[in-house]
């Protein structure tokens, strides 16, 4: 019940394309869903987050879509750039509990 | 602020040796987390502290692992004796309580890459 399942494990997209990363959770007690971005040799950093009372949140080229009934959420990157190549982690959080997905290695081809 | 500072950045050691990883959290943060990252298992939470007190160590793999936080500005993760399967990147992260809760945003260090031969 504490798992967050993330897919795909890896993704290659042409520059300008729209990579989509999907996550599913089981525990309905989670009330905050962040995405973290990690570049090689660095620690993960918060990218964007959403609460379950909204269905979509957009920040720049990054959009989270949230489906509460399906217990699923996804990250979309519009007009993807080679600089977006990184590992992306979804997570589910309540209070001091945060569970991470296993990550998606995204590569944007120039 | 300099962010979360971890040392060493890289450690290569032989099986059976003791390894100590160090972390300095961001000043004012009252939560500190230790994670282990591998390709197979992703980011695994090992232990976390609130106000220097260990809250949940259920992720610590076995008795060979121990963690301490003697004060608000320093924490250690020790592995004794180390084994090849402990090879991974170990991250320390800190956070503070805001409207998102205690773990609304984790600030990660750059990690300590451990290789056990």
A55: CATH: 2.60.40.10
Domain that holds residue A34: 4-109
- Which site among B5, B103, B111 would you substitute to test the A interface, given the most A Cβ atoms closer than 10 Å to its Cβ? B103
The number of domains in chain A is 1
Q: Is the pLDDT reported for residue B1 higher than 80? A: no
∠ CA A15-A18-A24, rounded to 5°: 135
- pLDDT > 70: percent of chain A: 98
Closest to A94 (Cα-Cα) out of A30, A2, A5? A30
Residues from chain B contacting residue A32 (CB–CB below 8 Å): 100-101, 104
Q: Please state, in angstroms and rounded to a whole number, the distance separating the CA atoms of residues B54 and B66.
A: 11
The reported pLDDT for the residue numbered B102 is: 80
- Which site among A57, A98, A101, A104 would you substitute to test the B interface, given the most B Cβ atoms closer than 10 Å to its Cβ? A98
Q: Please state, in angstroms and rounded to a whole number, the distance separating the CA atoms of residues B5 and B24.
A: 5
The residues facing A58 across adjacent strands are A63
Nearest Cα residue in chain B from A104: B42
HEC assignment per residue over A3-24? CEEEECCEEEEECCCCCEEEEE
Q: Please state, in angstroms and rounded to a whole number, the distance separating the CA atoms of residues B113 and A7.
A: 26
Q: What is the pLDDT of residues A6-52, one digit of tens each?
A: 999 999 999 999 999 999 999 989 999 999 999 999 999 999 999 99
Q: Is the pLDDT reported for residue B106 higher than 90? A: yes
Q: Is the pLDDT reported for residue B101 higher than 90? A: no
């Amino acid at each position: 019940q504490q798992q967050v399942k993330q897919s795909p494990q890896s993704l290659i997209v042409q520059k300008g394309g729209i990579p989509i990363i999907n996550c599913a959770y089981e525990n309905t007690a989670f009330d905050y869903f962040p995405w973290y971005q990690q570049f090689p040799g660095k620690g993960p950093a918060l990218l964007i987050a959403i609460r379950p009372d909204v269905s979509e949140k957009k920040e720049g080229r990054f959009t989270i879509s949230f489906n509460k009934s399906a217990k699923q959420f996804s990250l979309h990157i519009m007009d993807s750039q080679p600089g977006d190549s990184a590992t992306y982690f979804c997570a589910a959080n309540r209070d001091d509990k945060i569970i991470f997905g296993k990550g998606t290695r995204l590569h944007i081809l120039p | 602020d300099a962010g979360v500072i971890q040392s060493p950045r890289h450690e290569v050691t032989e099986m059976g040796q003791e390894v100590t990883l160090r972390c300095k959290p961001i000043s004012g943060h009252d939560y500190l987390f230790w994670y282990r990252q591998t390709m197979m298992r992703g980011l695994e939470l090992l232990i976390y502290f609130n106000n220097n007190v260990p809250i949940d160590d259920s992720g610590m793999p076995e008795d060979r692992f121990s963690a301490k936080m003697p004060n608000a500005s320093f924490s250690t993760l020790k592995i004794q004796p180390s084994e090849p399967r402990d090879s991974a990147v170990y991250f320390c992260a800190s956070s503070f309580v805001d409207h998102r809760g205690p773990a609304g945003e984790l600030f990660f260090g750059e990690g300590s890459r451990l290789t056990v031969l």
